[in-house]
């Protein structure tokens, strides 16, 4: 899908070095929106909309050109030089020329070379909108497809609770169904084992006792390695999970009311210290069980070992007084308790219910302080509390999420509206200060705490979902796992239970910038190309001093070559299609990209605007471009044609294809590459069947075949072509070897003007099956040739004297090899020699997902997107 259709004025999502501006003054970090005041804008408006009669304007400059705008007023268009003078007159003479030029190019989004008042206003309006949007973070929920798993052992009963178990490692999950089935899962949510709760002794049949009640909640007791499960039979089942098998150890029965919610706390640093088990019941009471000696066990062990669980009658619990104490706080709530939490620092028990008068109660277990009581209309079905944020979130039948501070019960901080069904669960995700809420219609929402905005809505498509029928859920759908020793090396994630299905969703653990792209330094480090999607191509923009990398996931990244910092990123440039090739226009301000489905687009490199969409002739892959000096673009690929597009000054979004090239049926196979030589007025194309054809630009037709297949011999595909521009522009050298081709690891130097075509050839790699996939040279002198091969190896050859004489027949001499090293694990997709800071560097991009800068001596400057930025003028900052 073409994502550019989704955005107003065809703006696509991107990021820059500065989150609140597309570009800024490098020294001061000030954006145009900050530097241009209201007074400045008024003066600029007067200049742009000067009267038609030629009256003098600012600095007595007459209007040289005018244009009718939509309001009927005349609008003056300005070239760069005139705009520079006007800005200096309005803002101040101390403003830098480089800042003005970049500002001009940024506003001139269509690359027309002209500034207008309408363009300037549109740019500033977008600037302010982007700044406001950038202040809102992205959702912590990652854009990965939820993993949905069916709990077969549930026997179509809903899952009441999912628990995480970290000890003994590795991470496991425990799910408890409404019917009493306990299932153990591994970290990938594959079932390891399952067991059912034991029923009443009086109902034993064939040595088995079927559990006939419903479970209400479950909690993991980490220091005992047991799971406590509450049921509507007014009892607690303690299930041991410390061994390879799952078995029920103890039953505590005889509660006066049904336990409906559980909470367990123990000191993770001192496992021998007393621990607490809290129970909320259906009559609004809270039960507190304090286990005094965890190393000795929960209760006194019976003297006889029996195959059945030990059963303890609650009124007889005093017989275990040296192991456990029991307290009961009745009528804390007026309705059944649905959530219980404990804050150990202040010894506060927190509980919620669907009572209007006692929706949430914070009560100190010492009873020495008055409880805090929050009253919510229609009560609270769920709540969560963050001690670090001193914030509570409640949700319920009123379909809202209400935020409260710790000590203010009279009025909420905010009410978050949007759910269309009762809210079943809510969680505060502290690492990014966001709230996750889930409603009965399987809708998950992510909210930002500071702005109170809904950042994301995700509707989970569980297989049990049926139109017109409400989904059946357990009482506690959420299991939220933060990054902690519990997760070891796993990513933070959220598990949601719906009927007998589980959904696994991944989360990030740092705040992310707006607009779909990361804008903070910490996140940029994790999203560097070192760990990103595979690269398909890369190139260097010498005018803007930027490196552009193209990725197979259809994204484009623009990097500052002097520091390695990301300047711009375009997402989904061609939807879900693979980006296959790129080139620059003659001004170096526009980028042309091609995709595997034949689509071609033109982008503004300064702001990420999609300027043009070029008509695809076929749906076959675009494999190469070359842009002529007059911005006539030539495209080749699976169509086997040379297709021309005029992108010089068109204002139309869609540009039609020009099929005037006499290329029909000339190539018999897919064209893999194209290269131009303006000095000779020719281009060269190479195809999958090994043919190399020279074409004349003036006639738009083929001149001759350098190499063609025969019936007797099949040729391997030509991997790449390179014209040596310095030789081609030298009258003494243009008849020598000026075109280099790579074919099955063999490099050939061709003359395209003289009688003898091959001026030298040699095998660049001794390894069988290896291919040289990319070539480059220092085009100002053509003294070196850089090769990147399929194995990730780089070779630099001295060709200053190679390919200048006709070689002896049958002799294949190598030029001197200057450097050779393995730069990447994957194949090299692009190499390019850069002349920066009076030194030669090599840009290397690989299919392994990384791109970097190297010196011609084999020293690594760094990888684009790495944490530590380099300074290309200071070799001490290189990675080496």
Mean pLDDT in the chain? 84
Cis peptide leading into residue 677 (ω within 30°): no
**Secondary element (H or E) of residue 81:** helix 80-91
Q: Give residue 661's pLDDT.
A: 94
Q: Give residue 270's pLDDT.
A: 87
Picking from 621, 585, 627, 630, the residue whose alpha carbon sits closest to that of residue 600 is 621
Q: Sorting pLDDT into bands at 50, 70 and 90, what band is 22?
A: very low
The two beta strands, 215-221 and 191-196, are unpaired
Tokens of 488: 């070891």
The two beta strands, 610-614 and 654-655, are parallel
Helix, strand or coil, per DSSP, at residue 557: strand
Which residues partner with 212 through β-bridges? none
The proportion of the chain whose per-residue pLDDT surpasses 90, expressed as a percent, equals 56
DSSP string, 499-551: TTEEEEEEB-SS---STTS--SHHHHHHTSGGGSSPEEEEEEETTTTEEEEEE
Higher pLDDT, 253 or 465: 253
Higher pLDDT, 647 or 142: 647
Contact by Cβ (8 Å): 86, 44? yes
Picking from 787, 830, 789, the residue whose alpha carbon sits closest to that of residue 537 is 830
Q: Give residue 339's pLDDT.
A: 96
- 88 — phi, psi (to 5°)? -65, -35
- 143 — phi, psi (to 5°)? -85, 55
**Out of 8-22, 208-222, 230-244, 346-360, least confident range:** 8-22
Tokens of 784: 């070196």
pLDDT digits (tens, 9 = 90+) for 292-349: 988 888 998 876 666 788 899 999 998 898 999 999 999 999 999 999 999 999 999 9
pLDDT at 230 over 80: yes
Q: What is the mean pLDDT of residues 439-453?
A: 93
Q: Give residue 832's pLDDT.
A: 97
Q: What is the rounded distance in angstroms from the CA atom of residue 168 to the CA atom of residue 171?
A: 8
Helix, strand or coil, per DSSP, at residue 601: strand
Q: What is the rounded distance in angstroms from the CA atom of residue 420 to the CA atom of residue 134?
A: 28
Q: Sorting pLDDT into bands at 50, 70 and 90, what band is 53?
A: very low
The residue whose two tokens read 């899962």 is 185
The two beta strands, 310-313 and 247-253, are parallel
Tokens of 545: 């001093």
- 878 — phi, psi (to 5°)? -70, 155
Q: Give residue 277's pLDDT.
A: 96
Q: Give residue 2's pLDDT.
A: 39
Tokens of 397: 């039948």
- 150 — phi, psi (to 5°)? -95, 130
Q: What is the rounded distance in angstroms from the CA atom of residue 866 to the CA atom of residue 527?
A: 9
Q: What is the mean pLDDT of residues 132-158?
A: 83
Count CB atoms within 10 A of the CB of residue 219.
Answer: 24
Q: Give residue 110's pLDDT.
A: 63
The residue whose two tokens read 């990244």 is 557
pLDDT at 215 over 80: yes
pLDDT at 350 over 70: yes
Picking from 537, 672, 527, the residue whose alpha carbon sits closest to that of residue 592 is 537
Q: Give residue 485's pLDDT.
A: 53
Give the dihedral sign, CA 526/530/536/541: positive
Helix, strand or coil, per DSSP, at residue 55: coil
Q: What is the rounded distance in angstroms from the CA atom of residue 199 to the CA atom of residue 459?
A: 38
Picking from 467, 527, 472, the residue whose alpha carbon sits closest to that of residue 500 is 472
pLDDT digits (tens, 9 = 90+) for 719-762: 999 999 999 999 999 999 999 999 999 999 999 987 768 899 99
Q: What is the rounded distance in angstroms from the CA atom of residue 225 to the CA atom of residue 58?
A: 81
Non-local (6+) Cβ contacts of 308 within 8 A are 198, 201, 209
Non-local (6+) Cβ contacts of 12 within 8 A are 3, 4, 570, 571, 572, 573, 608, 609, 610
Give the dihedral sign, CA 508/512/515/518: negative
pLDDT at 860 over 50: yes
Q: Sorting pLDDT into bands at 50, 70 and 90, what band is 201?
A: low
Q: Give residue 233's pLDDT.
A: 92
Non-local (6+) Cβ contacts of 351 within 8 A are 261, 280, 286, 332, 333, 337, 339, 340, 341, 360, 361, 363
Q: What is the mean pLDDT of residues 689-717?
A: 88
Q: Which of 24-33, 72-81, 271-280 has the highest mean pLDDT?
A: 271-280
The proportion of the chain whose per-residue pLDDT surpasses 70, expressed as a percent, equals 86
Q: What is the rounded distance in angstroms from the CA atom of residue 858 to the CA atom of residue 856?
A: 5
Q: Sorting pLDDT into bands at 50, 70 and 90, what band is 55?
A: very low
pLDDT at 167 over 80: no
- HEC string of 234-288 equals CEEEEEECCCCCCEEEEEEECCCCCEEEEEEECCCCCCCCCEEEEEEECCCCEEE
- 491 — phi, psi (to 5°)? -85, 145
pLDDT digits (tens, 9 = 90+) for 806-836: 877 666 789 999 999 999 989 999 999 999 9
Q: What is the rounded distance in angstroms from the CA atom of residue 539 to the CA atom of residue 774?
A: 12
Q: Give residue 46's pLDDT.
A: 77
DSSP string, 753-801: SSS--EEEEEES--STT--EEEEEE-TTT--EEEEEETTSEEEEEE-TT
Picking from 69, 103, 107, the residue whose alpha carbon sits closest to that of residue 84 is 103
Q: Give residue 571's pLDDT.
A: 87
Q: Sorting pLDDT into bands at 50, 70 and 90, what band is 546?
A: very high
**Secondary element (H or E) of residue 721:** strand 718-723
Distances (CA, A) of 170 to 173, 240, 770, 840: 10, 17, 42, 51
Q: Give residue 489's pLDDT.
A: 47
Helix, strand or coil, per DSSP, at residue 124: helix
pLDDT at 129 over 90: no
Q: What is the rounded distance in angstroms from the CA atom of residue 176 to the CA atom of residue 226?
A: 13
DSSP string, 205-224: BTTB-B--S-EEEEEEETTT
Q: Which of 26-40, 116-130, 351-365 has the highest mean pLDDT?
A: 351-365
pLDDT at 516 over 60: no
Q: Give residue 33's pLDDT.
A: 56
- Prediction pTM value: 0.57
Distances (CA, A) of 321 to 24, 239, 280, 718: 71, 22, 22, 85
Q: What is the mean pLDDT of residues 769-795?
A: 94
Q: What is the rounded distance in angstroms from the CA atom of residue 427 to the CA atom of residue 278?
A: 20
Which residues partner with 568 through β-bridges? 558
Size of the chain in residues: 880
Q: Give residue 26's pLDDT.
A: 38
Q: Give residue 806's pLDDT.
A: 82
Q: What is the rounded distance in angstroms from the CA atom of residue 322 to the CA atom of residue 866?
A: 59
Q: Sorting pLDDT into bands at 50, 70 and 90, what band is 794?
A: very high
The per-type count for the chain, helices as H runs and strands as E runs, is 7, 59
pLDDT at 18 over 60: no
Q: What is the rounded distance in angstroms from the CA atom of residue 601 to the CA atom of residue 591?
A: 8
């Amino acid at each position: 899908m073409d994502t550019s259709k989704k955005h107003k004025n065809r703006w696509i999502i991107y990021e820059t070095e500065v989150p609140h501006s597309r570009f800024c003054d490098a020294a001061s970090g000030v954006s145009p929106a900050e530097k241009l005041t209201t007074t400045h804008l008024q003066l600029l408006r007067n200049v742009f909309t000067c009267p038609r009669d030629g009256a003098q304007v600012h600095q007595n400059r007459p209007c040289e050109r005018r244009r009718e705008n939509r309001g009927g007023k005349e609008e003056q268009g300005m070239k760069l030089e005139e705009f520079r003078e006007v800005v200096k007159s309005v803002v101040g003479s101390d403003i830098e020329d480089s800042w003005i030029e970049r500002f001009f190019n940024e506003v001139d989004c269509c690359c027309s070379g002209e500034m207008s008042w309408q363009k300037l206003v549109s740019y500033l309006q977008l600037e302010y909108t982007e700044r406001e949007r950038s202040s809102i973070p992205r959702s912590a929920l990652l854009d990965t497809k939820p993993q949905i798993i069916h709990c077969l052992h549930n026997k179509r009963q809903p899952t009441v609770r999912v628990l995480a178990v970290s000890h003994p490692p590795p991470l496991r999950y425990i799910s408890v169904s409404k019917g009493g089935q306990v299932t153990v899962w591994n970290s990938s949510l594959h079932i390891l084992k399952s067991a059912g709760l034991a029923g009443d002794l009086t109902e034993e049949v064939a040595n088995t006792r079927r559990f006939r009640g419903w479970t209400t909640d479950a909690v993991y007791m980490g220091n005992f390695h047991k799971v406590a499960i509450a049921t509507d039979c007014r009892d607690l089942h303690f299930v041991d999970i410390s061994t390879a098998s799952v078995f029920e150890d103890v039953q505590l029965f005889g509660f006066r009311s049904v336990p409906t919610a559980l909470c367990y706390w123990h000191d993770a640093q001192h496992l021998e210290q007393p621990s607490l088990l809290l129970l909320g019941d259906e009559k609004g009471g809270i039960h507190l069980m304090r286990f005094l000696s965890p190393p000795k066990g929960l209760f006194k062990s019976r003297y006889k070992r029996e195959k059945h669980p030990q059963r303890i009658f609650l009124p007889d619990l005093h017989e275990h007084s040296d192991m456990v104490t029991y307290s009961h706080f009745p009528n804390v709530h007026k309705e059944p308790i649905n959530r219980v939490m404990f804050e150990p620092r202040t010894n506060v028990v927190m509980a919620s219910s669907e009572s209007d008068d006692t929706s949430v109660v914070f009560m100190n277990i010492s009873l020495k302080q008055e409880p805090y009581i929050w009253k919510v209309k229609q009560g609270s079905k769920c709540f969560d509390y963050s001690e670090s944020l001193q914030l509570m979130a409640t949700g319920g039948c009123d379909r809202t999420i209400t935020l409260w501070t710790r000590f203010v019960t009279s009025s909420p901080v905010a009410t978050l509206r949007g759910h269309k069904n009762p809210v079943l669960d809510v969680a505060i995700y502290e690492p990014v200060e966001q709230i996750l809420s889930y409603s009965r219609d399987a809708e998950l929402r992510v909210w930002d705490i500071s702005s109170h905005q809904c950042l994301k809505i995700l509707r989970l498509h569980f297989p049990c979902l049926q139109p017109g029928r409400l989904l059946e859920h357990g009482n506690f759908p959420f299991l939220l796992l933060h990054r902690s020793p519990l997760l070891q090396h796993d990513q933070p994630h959220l598990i949601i239970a719906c009927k007998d299905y589980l959904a696994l969703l991944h989360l990030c653990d740092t705040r992310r910038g707006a607009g779909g792209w990361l804008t903070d330094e910490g996140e940029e480090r994790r999203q560097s190309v070192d760990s990103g999607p595979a690269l398909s191509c890369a190139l260097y923009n010498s005018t803007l001093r930027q490196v552009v990398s193209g990725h197979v996931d259809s994204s484009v990244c623009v990097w500052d070559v002097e520091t390695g910092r990301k300047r711009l990123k375009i997402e989904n440039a061609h939807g879900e299609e693979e980006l296959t090739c790129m080139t620059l226009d003659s001004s170096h301000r526009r980028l042309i990209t091609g995709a595997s489905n034949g689509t071609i687009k033109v982008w503004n490199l300064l702001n990420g605007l999609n300027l043009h969409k070029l008509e695809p002739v076929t749906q076959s892959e675009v494999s190469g471009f070359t842009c002529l000096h007059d911005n006539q673009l030539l495209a080749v690929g699976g169509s086997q044609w040379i297709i021309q597009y005029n992108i010089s000054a068109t204002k139309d979004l869609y540009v039609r294809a020009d099929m005037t090239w006499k290329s029909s049926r000339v190539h018999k196979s897919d064209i893999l590459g194209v290269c131009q030589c303006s000095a000779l007025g020719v281009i060269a194309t190479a195809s999958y069947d090994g043919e190399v054809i020279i074409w004349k630009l003036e006639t738009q037709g083929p001149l001759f075949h350098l190499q063609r297949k025969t019936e007797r011999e099949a040729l391997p595909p030509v991997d790449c072509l390179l014209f040596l521009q310095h030789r081609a522009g030298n009258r003494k050298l243009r008849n020598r070897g000026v075109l280099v081709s790579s074919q099955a690891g063999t490099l050939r130097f061709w003359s395209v003007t003289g009688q003898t075509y091959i001026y030298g050839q040699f095998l660049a790699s001794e390894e069988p099956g290896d291919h040289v996939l990319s070539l480059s040279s220092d085009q100002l002198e053509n003294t070196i040739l850089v090769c990147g091969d399929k194995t990730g190896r780089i070779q630099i050859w001295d060709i200053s004297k190679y390919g200048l004489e006709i070689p002896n027949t049958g002799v294949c001499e190598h030029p001197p090899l200057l450097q050779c090293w393995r730069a990447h694990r994957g194949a090299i997709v692009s190499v390019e020699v850069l002349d920066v800071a009076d030194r030669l560097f090599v840009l290397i991009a690989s299919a392994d997902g990384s791109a970097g800068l190297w010196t011609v001596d084999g020293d690594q400057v760094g990888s684009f997107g790495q944490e530590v930025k380099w300074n290309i003028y200071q070799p001490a900052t290189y990675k080496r």
